[in-house]
Amino acid sequence: MNEIVIKKFWNNIEKTNNCWNWKGFLDKSGLPIIRATKEYSSRRVSLFIENKFPAKGEQVLVTCNNKLCVNPEHLVYGDEARFWNKVFKLSEQQGGCWIWIGAHDKNGYGKFHLSNDGLDIHLRAHVYSFMIYNRVPRFKILQVCHTCDNPACVRPEHLFLGTAQENTDDKVSKNKQAKGELHGISKLTEAQVKEIRELYPKINGMKLAKLYNVTHSVIYSILNRKYWKHI
Protein backbone atom coordinates (compact mmCIF):
# COMPACT_ATOMS: atom_id res chain seq x y z
CA MET A 1 0.00 0.00 0.00
CA ASN A 2 1.66 3.27 -1.06
CA GLU A 3 1.72 6.58 0.85
CA ILE A 4 -0.60 8.33 -1.65
CA VAL A 5 -3.40 5.84 -0.94
CA ILE A 6 -2.89 6.15 2.82
CA LYS A 7 -2.95 9.96 2.59
CA LYS A 8 -6.15 9.92 0.53
CA PHE A 9 -7.70 7.64 3.11
CA TRP A 10 -7.06 10.05 5.98
CA ASN A 11 -8.15 13.05 3.89
CA ASN A 12 -11.60 11.54 3.37
CA ILE A 13 -12.43 10.56 6.95
CA GLU A 14 -14.91 12.36 9.19
CA LYS A 15 -14.80 10.88 12.68
CA THR A 16 -17.85 10.85 14.96
CA ASN A 17 -18.10 9.41 18.45
CA ASN A 18 -18.32 5.92 16.98
CA CYS A 19 -18.04 5.77 13.19
CA TRP A 20 -15.47 7.01 10.70
CA ASN A 21 -17.67 8.34 7.92
CA TRP A 22 -16.30 8.21 4.38
CA LYS A 23 -16.54 11.48 2.38
CA GLY A 24 -14.76 10.30 -0.78
CA PHE A 25 -15.69 8.27 -3.85
CA LEU A 26 -18.15 5.38 -3.83
CA ASP A 27 -18.29 2.39 -6.15
CA LYS A 28 -21.40 1.25 -8.05
CA SER A 29 -22.67 -0.49 -4.94
CA GLY A 30 -22.26 2.64 -2.84
CA LEU A 31 -19.22 1.33 -0.97
CA PRO A 32 -16.25 3.59 -0.06
CA ILE A 33 -13.30 3.48 -2.47
CA ILE A 34 -10.03 5.32 -3.06
CA ARG A 35 -9.05 6.20 -6.62
CA ALA A 36 -5.30 6.31 -7.24
CA THR A 37 -3.54 4.37 -10.00
CA LYS A 38 -6.41 1.93 -9.46
CA GLU A 39 -9.38 1.62 -7.13
CA TYR A 40 -8.81 0.50 -3.54
CA SER A 41 -11.40 -0.56 -1.01
CA SER A 42 -11.39 2.01 1.79
CA ARG A 43 -12.39 -0.71 4.23
CA ARG A 44 -9.37 -2.82 3.28
CA VAL A 45 -7.07 0.19 3.53
CA SER A 46 -8.42 0.85 7.03
CA LEU A 47 -7.67 -2.73 8.03
CA PHE A 48 -4.23 -2.55 6.43
CA ILE A 49 -3.37 0.45 8.60
CA GLU A 50 -4.31 -1.66 11.63
CA ASN A 51 -2.08 -4.53 10.40
CA LYS A 52 -5.05 -6.71 9.53
CA PHE A 53 -4.95 -8.47 6.18
CA PRO A 54 -8.07 -10.22 4.83
CA ALA A 55 -7.34 -12.65 2.03
CA LYS A 56 -7.82 -11.57 -1.58
CA GLY A 57 -11.49 -11.84 -2.50
CA GLU A 58 -12.52 -12.24 1.14
CA GLN A 59 -15.56 -10.16 2.04
CA VAL A 60 -15.20 -7.30 4.51
CA LEU A 61 -18.39 -6.29 6.32
CA VAL A 62 -19.32 -3.39 8.59
CA THR A 63 -21.08 -4.30 11.84
CA CYS A 64 -22.51 -0.88 12.78
CA ASN A 65 -25.11 -0.71 9.96
CA ASN A 66 -23.43 2.42 8.60
CA LYS A 67 -22.50 1.63 5.00
CA LEU A 68 -20.08 4.60 4.87
CA CYS A 69 -18.20 3.67 8.04
CA VAL A 70 -14.55 2.65 7.70
CA ASN A 71 -13.66 2.48 11.39
CA PRO A 72 -11.49 -0.66 11.68
CA GLU A 73 -13.20 -1.53 14.96
CA HIS A 74 -16.46 -1.85 13.03
CA LEU A 75 -15.04 -4.04 10.25
CA VAL A 76 -14.96 -7.82 10.17
CA TYR A 77 -13.83 -10.44 7.67
CA GLY A 78 -13.36 -14.18 7.52
CA ASP A 79 -15.55 -16.22 9.89
CA GLU A 80 -17.05 -13.12 11.51
CA ALA A 81 -18.12 -11.73 8.14
CA ARG A 82 -19.76 -15.06 7.25
CA PHE A 83 -21.53 -14.99 10.59
CA TRP A 84 -22.95 -11.44 10.29
CA ASN A 85 -24.13 -12.19 6.75
CA LYS A 86 -26.68 -14.53 8.35
CA VAL A 87 -28.04 -12.05 10.91
CA PHE A 88 -31.16 -9.92 10.50
CA LYS A 89 -31.56 -7.14 13.06
CA LEU A 90 -35.11 -6.53 14.26
CA SER A 91 -36.02 -3.05 15.54
CA GLU A 92 -32.54 -2.37 16.86
CA GLN A 93 -33.49 1.04 18.20
CA GLN A 94 -36.00 -0.67 20.53
CA GLY A 95 -33.63 -3.35 21.73
CA GLY A 96 -35.13 -5.95 19.39
CA CYS A 97 -33.68 -9.37 18.70
CA TRP A 98 -31.06 -10.12 16.04
CA ILE A 99 -32.40 -13.17 14.21
CA TRP A 100 -30.18 -15.92 12.80
CA ILE A 101 -31.42 -16.67 9.28
CA GLY A 102 -28.99 -19.49 8.56
CA ALA A 103 -29.47 -23.16 9.45
CA HIS A 104 -31.22 -24.11 12.72
CA ASP A 105 -31.27 -27.22 14.88
CA LYS A 106 -34.48 -28.98 15.95
CA ASN A 107 -34.77 -26.70 19.00
CA GLY A 108 -34.66 -23.50 16.96
CA TYR A 109 -31.07 -22.54 17.77
CA GLY A 110 -28.90 -21.27 14.94
CA LYS A 111 -26.05 -23.47 13.70
CA PHE A 112 -22.66 -22.10 12.66
CA HIS A 113 -19.42 -23.78 11.66
CA LEU A 114 -15.84 -22.65 11.23
CA SER A 115 -12.47 -24.28 10.68
CA ASN A 116 -9.53 -24.56 13.06
CA ASP A 117 -6.32 -26.22 11.90
CA GLY A 118 -8.23 -28.12 9.25
CA LEU A 119 -10.97 -29.28 11.62
CA ASP A 120 -14.63 -28.25 11.24
CA ILE A 121 -16.00 -26.77 14.45
CA HIS A 122 -19.78 -26.79 14.87
CA LEU A 123 -21.47 -24.62 17.48
CA ARG A 124 -24.66 -22.73 18.09
CA ALA A 125 -24.83 -19.31 16.49
CA HIS A 126 -25.69 -17.46 19.70
CA VAL A 127 -22.68 -19.02 21.41
CA TYR A 128 -20.39 -17.76 18.66
CA SER A 129 -21.96 -14.30 18.95
CA PHE A 130 -21.26 -14.27 22.69
CA MET A 131 -17.68 -15.40 22.09
CA ILE A 132 -16.75 -12.74 19.54
CA TYR A 133 -18.50 -9.94 21.45
CA ASN A 134 -16.80 -10.81 24.74
CA ARG A 135 -13.49 -11.88 23.17
CA VAL A 136 -13.74 -15.33 24.67
CA PRO A 137 -11.05 -17.77 23.44
CA ARG A 138 -12.56 -19.79 20.61
CA PHE A 139 -13.79 -23.35 21.00
CA LYS A 140 -14.12 -23.13 24.78
CA ILE A 141 -17.26 -25.00 25.83
CA LEU A 142 -19.83 -22.45 26.99
CA GLN A 143 -23.39 -22.57 28.28
CA VAL A 144 -24.90 -19.33 26.92
CA CYS A 145 -28.45 -18.36 27.90
CA HIS A 146 -30.95 -15.89 26.45
CA THR A 147 -32.59 -13.07 28.38
CA CYS A 148 -35.10 -12.68 25.53
CA ASP A 149 -36.14 -16.35 25.55
CA ASN A 150 -35.66 -16.51 21.77
CA PRO A 151 -33.44 -19.41 20.57
CA ALA A 152 -32.86 -17.78 17.16
CA CYS A 153 -31.58 -14.52 18.67
CA VAL A 154 -27.84 -13.77 18.49
CA ARG A 155 -27.86 -10.22 19.87
CA PRO A 156 -24.95 -10.08 22.37
CA GLU A 157 -26.88 -7.86 24.80
CA HIS A 158 -29.53 -10.61 25.05
CA LEU A 159 -27.02 -13.29 26.05
CA PHE A 160 -25.40 -14.24 29.32
CA LEU A 161 -23.02 -16.93 30.49
CA GLY A 162 -24.37 -19.58 32.84
CA THR A 163 -24.06 -23.18 33.93
CA ALA A 164 -26.25 -26.02 32.67
CA GLN A 165 -28.27 -25.79 35.90
CA GLU A 166 -28.69 -22.02 35.52
CA ASN A 167 -29.94 -22.57 31.97
CA THR A 168 -32.51 -25.07 33.25
CA ASP A 169 -33.55 -22.74 36.05
CA ASP A 170 -33.89 -19.90 33.53
CA LYS A 171 -36.26 -21.97 31.40
CA VAL A 172 -38.37 -22.89 34.43
CA SER A 173 -38.51 -19.30 35.65
CA LYS A 174 -39.84 -18.22 32.27
CA ASN A 175 -42.51 -20.94 32.35
CA LYS A 176 -41.11 -22.67 29.29
CA GLN A 177 -43.24 -25.72 30.01
CA ALA A 178 -45.90 -27.19 27.70
CA LYS A 179 -48.69 -24.73 28.40
CA GLY A 180 -50.20 -21.57 26.97
CA GLU A 181 -48.71 -20.61 23.64
CA LEU A 182 -46.41 -23.67 23.70
CA HIS A 183 -49.18 -26.17 24.37
CA GLY A 184 -50.60 -28.68 21.90
CA ILE A 185 -50.13 -27.94 18.20
CA SER A 186 -48.85 -24.39 18.67
CA LYS A 187 -45.22 -24.25 17.48
CA LEU A 188 -44.73 -20.50 17.70
CA THR A 189 -44.53 -17.96 20.48
CA GLU A 190 -46.05 -14.49 20.32
CA ALA A 191 -42.54 -13.05 19.94
CA GLN A 192 -41.89 -15.28 16.93
CA VAL A 193 -45.17 -14.26 15.29
CA LYS A 194 -44.18 -10.60 15.65
CA GLU A 195 -40.77 -11.41 14.17
CA ILE A 196 -42.34 -13.13 11.16
CA ARG A 197 -44.45 -10.09 10.39
CA GLU A 198 -41.45 -7.79 10.70
CA LEU A 199 -39.13 -9.99 8.64
CA TYR A 200 -41.60 -10.21 5.73
CA PRO A 201 -41.12 -9.30 2.86
CA LYS A 202 -37.37 -8.89 3.45
CA ILE A 203 -37.41 -12.67 3.83
CA ASN A 204 -39.99 -14.47 1.70
CA GLY A 205 -42.64 -16.86 2.95
CA MET A 206 -40.87 -20.07 1.93
CA LYS A 207 -37.69 -19.10 3.78
CA LEU A 208 -39.68 -17.99 6.83
CA ALA A 209 -41.44 -21.35 6.90
CA LYS A 210 -38.10 -23.15 6.90
CA LEU A 211 -36.63 -20.75 9.44
CA TYR A 212 -39.47 -21.28 11.94
CA ASN A 213 -40.11 -24.94 11.09
CA VAL A 214 -43.73 -24.48 10.06
CA THR A 215 -45.60 -24.86 6.78
CA HIS A 216 -45.80 -22.24 4.09
CA SER A 217 -49.57 -21.92 4.66
CA VAL A 218 -49.05 -21.19 8.36
CA ILE A 219 -46.73 -18.30 7.49
CA TYR A 220 -49.23 -16.71 5.14
CA SER A 221 -52.09 -17.26 7.59
CA ILE A 222 -50.03 -15.32 10.14
CA LEU A 223 -49.23 -12.58 7.62
CA ASN A 224 -52.91 -12.33 6.63
CA ARG A 225 -53.91 -12.43 10.33
CA LYS A 226 -56.02 -15.56 9.99
CA TYR A 227 -53.88 -16.90 12.84
CA TRP A 228 -52.78 -14.93 15.92
CA LYS A 229 -55.26 -12.14 15.25
CA HIS A 230 -54.79 -10.69 18.73
CA ILE A 231 -51.16 -9.70 18.01
Amino acid at 113: H
Instruction: Calculate the alpha carbon distances from 221 to 103, 216, 224 in Å.
Output: 23, 9, 5
Q: Where does the pLDDT of residue 161 fall: very low under 50, low under 70, confident under 90, or very high at 90 and above? A: confident
- Please determine, for residue 157, whether its predicted confidence score (pLDDT) is greater than 60: yes
- Please determine, for residue 200, whether its predicted confidence score (pLDDT) is greater than 90: no
**CA end-to-end distance (rounded Å), the chain:** 55
State mean pLDDT over 82-94.
80
pLDDT at 167: 53
Distance CA 166, CA 162 (A): 6
pLDDT at 89: 83
- Please determine, for residue 68, whether its predicted confidence score (pLDDT) is greater than 60: yes
Closest among 130, 146, 228 to 188, alpha carbons compared: 228
Distance CA 160, CA 58 (A): 31
Distance CA 67, CA 74 (A): 11
Containing H/E element for 114? strand 111-116
- pLDDT 10s digits, 132-141: 888 876 666 6
State mean pLDDT over 212-217.
80
